[in-house]
Structure 1
Amino acid sequence: MNLRNFCSFLVVAIGVGLVCLASTPARAAESINKIATVNIQEVLLGSAAGQEVKKELEGKVEELQGKFQKEQEEVDTLRSEIEKKSSVWSQEVREEKEREYQKRVREVQLKTEDAQFELQQMEKQLMTPILNELQKVIKELGEKNGYSLIMDSRAGLLYVDKALDISELVQKELDNRQKSAK
């Protein structure tokens, strides 16, 4: 009798399990009903905070370019001098000028690399808080508006209907938050 009850219980449990498994894909399909895309780069470049960062970076680039322009002109002048006068110089003078030229070229290259690194660090420092806030905005908009999935539209998607793009909404919310934070 115990074996018979156990077998009956097992048959009922398997039946219930199969019904649950059969209904799971239908429920999953129902829950993924609202999908959106956001062009993160467009939002960042279009936002007020992104524009401020862009201006700061452009100002720094101009400052660094002005700084290096004089040094580059000096290197170019030295190269021109070597090309014009090398035929009248002795071998020793020519070699000395070539070494000096190579040294100055390396110095300019190193300074350029340092400047690029400095710009990257500055961009990272300025963009990190904005990206963190953007992530919060997207998450909260998704929860508030019942989105099941929000993806970056540049994430390898082959086709996305424009109606799914909420970039403008995200940008407005980000701008509002940045204004209220100030």
Structure 2
Amino acid sequence: MQAVKKWITLTVFAVFFAAGSGFCADVAKIGVVEFQRLFENSDAGKEIKAQITQQGKKMETELKGKGAEIEELKKRLEREALVMSKEMREEKEREFRIKVNDIKTLQKKYEVELQGIQKKLMAGLQSETLKIIDEIGKSGGYLLIMDKRGVLYSPGTIDITDQVIKKYNAQYTKTKKQ
């Protein structure tokens, strides 16, 4: 009797397993995209990086110039401190502190401004690449395309980043020529 129950149970499992695998005949096509590599290797990403670097150097040069001014002011204050009256020295020290605070404020402003420029440019890049990924997903029959940062493991065969970069570079070149 127990042998019959075992055979019936095995038969039921076999039927469910066979029926279940029949429904899953299509293989789910999944892809991953590494946005960091896309940013570093695409033409638009390289251009964005160059713009941000150029803007950063421009801001840094201005800050260094103001820093040199402050350093000169500090040296002059130290040299002349002995011959100045107490009120005059306090006034000059106050002016010095104000200039130091001004440069710190300017530095923070530049950092925020640079981050804003980066966000704006990166948003445009991301928007365009998402359109391309959508296009690749539809034409390639993908069930799912994910950002590589959210994936703990994936074989290299499902990474479509290079495909996205090629397509984006072609589109970017065409758009730039117009």
Report the Cα distance in structure 2 between the residues aligned to 1:86 and 1:27, rounded to whole angstroms: 91
Q: What number of residue pairs does the alignment pair up?
A: 160
Gaps of 5+ in 2: 1-16
Report the Cα distance in structure 1 between the residues aligned to 2:87 and 2:171, rounded to whole angstroms: 67
Partner deviation per Cα, 1:14-72 (whole Å, 9 max, x = no partner): xxxxxxxx9xx868866661111110111022100111111111111121122221111
User: What secondary structure does 2:154 align onto?
Assistant: coil
Corresponding residue for residue 138 of structure 1: 133
Corresponding residue for residue 39 of structure 1: 34
Percent of aligned positions that are identical = 30
Given that residues 36 and 147 in structure 1 are in contact (C-alpha distance below 8 angstroms), is that contact kept between their aligned partners in structure 2?
Answer: yes
Given that residues 35 and 164 in structure 1 are in contact (C-alpha distance below 8 angstroms), is that contact kept between their aligned partners in structure 2?
Answer: yes
User: What secondary structure does 1:154 align onto?
Assistant: helix
The aligned runs of 1:105-116 (5 Å cut-off) are 105-116=100-111
Corresponding residue for residue 11 of structure 1: none
User: What secondary structure does 2:31 align onto?
Assistant: strand
Alignment partner of 1:179 is 2:173: yes
Report the Cα distance in structure 1 between the residues aligned to 2:88 and 2:128, rounded to whole angstroms: 61
Q: TM-score, normalised by structure 1?
A: 0.74
User: Shift of the alpha carbon at 1:160?
Assistant: 2.0
Gaps of 5+ in 1: 1-21
Corresponding residue for residue 59 of structure 2: 64
The aligned runs of 1:75-94 (5 Å cut-off) are 75-83=70-78, 86=81, 89-94=84-89
User: Shift of the alpha carbon at 1:180?
Assistant: 1.9
Partner deviation per Cα, 1:53-111 (whole Å, 9 max, x = no partner): 11111111121122221111111223344456656655434322321121001111121
Given that residues 38 and 153 in structure 1 are in contact (C-alpha distance below 8 angstroms), is that contact kept between their aligned partners in structure 2?
Answer: yes
Report the Cα distance in structure 2 between the residues aligned to 1:67 and 1:181, rounded to whole angstroms: 34
Given that residues 32 and 149 in structure 1 are in contact (C-alpha distance below 8 angstroms), is that contact kept between their aligned partners in structure 2?
Answer: no
Q: TM-score, normalised by structure 2?
A: 0.76
